[in-house]
Chain A
Amino acid sequence: MKKLVLPIFLSILLVGCNDEKTLEVNNANGEEVKEVAAIIKNEDEINSGRAIFVEDQLLVAVQAKPWLDYKKTKIEKNLKKKLEEILPEYDITVSSDYKLYWEAQKLLKEEDSEKVKEKLEKLKKLKKEET
Chain B
Amino acid sequence: MNQEQFDKIEQEITPPTPYVKNVLKAFLVGGLICTIGHAITYFYIIFFDFTEKTVGNPTAATIIFISMLLTGFGLYKKIGQFAGAGSAVPVSGFGNAVISAAIEHRTEGFVLGVGGNMFKLAGSVILFGVSSAFVVSLIKLILVTMGVIEW
Is the CB–CB distance between B46 and A97 below 8 Å? no
**How many residues of chain A have a CB within 8 Å of chain B?**
12
Closest to B50 in A: A99
Query: 8 Å CB contacts to A: which residues of B34-83?
Result: 42, 45-46, 49-55, 57
Closest to A96 in B: B52
Is the CB–CB distance between B45 and A74 below 8 Å? no
Least CB distance, A123 to chain B, in whole angstroms: 9
Give the residue among A74, A98, A102, A126 with the most B Cβ atoms within 10 A. Answer: A98
The verdict on B4 contacting chain A, using a C-beta distance below 8 Å, is: no
Query: 8 Å CB contacts to B: which residues of A50-65?
Result: none
Is the CB–CB distance between A97 and B52 below 8 Å? yes
Is the CB–CB distance between B46 and A102 below 8 Å? yes
Which of chain A's residues have a CB closer than 8 A to the CB of B55? Answer: 99
Q: Is chain B's binding surface mostly helix, strand, loop or mixed?
A: loop
Which of chain B's residues have a CB closer than 8 A to the CB of A97? Answer: 51-53
The verdict on A111 contacting chain B, using a C-beta distance below 8 Å, is: no
Which of chain B's residues have a CB closer than 8 A to the CB of A131? Answer: 54, 57
Give the residue among B50, B53, B57, B151 with the most A Cβ atoms within 10 A. Answer: B53
Closest to A125 in B: B49
Question: What is B's interface to A at a CB cutoff of 8 Å?
Answer: 42, 45-46, 49-55, 57, 150-151
Question: What is A's interface to B at a CB cutoff of 8 Å?
Answer: 73-74, 97-100, 102, 126-127, 129-131
For this complex, 22 residue pairs linking A to B, each with C-beta atoms less than 8 Å apart, are: A73-B150, A73-B151, A74-B150, A97-B51, A98-B42, A98-B51, A98-B52, A99-B45, A99-B49, A99-B50, A99-B51, A99-B52, A99-B55, A100-B51, A102-B45, A126-B49, A126-B54, A127-B51, A129-B54, A130-B53, A130-B54, A131-B54
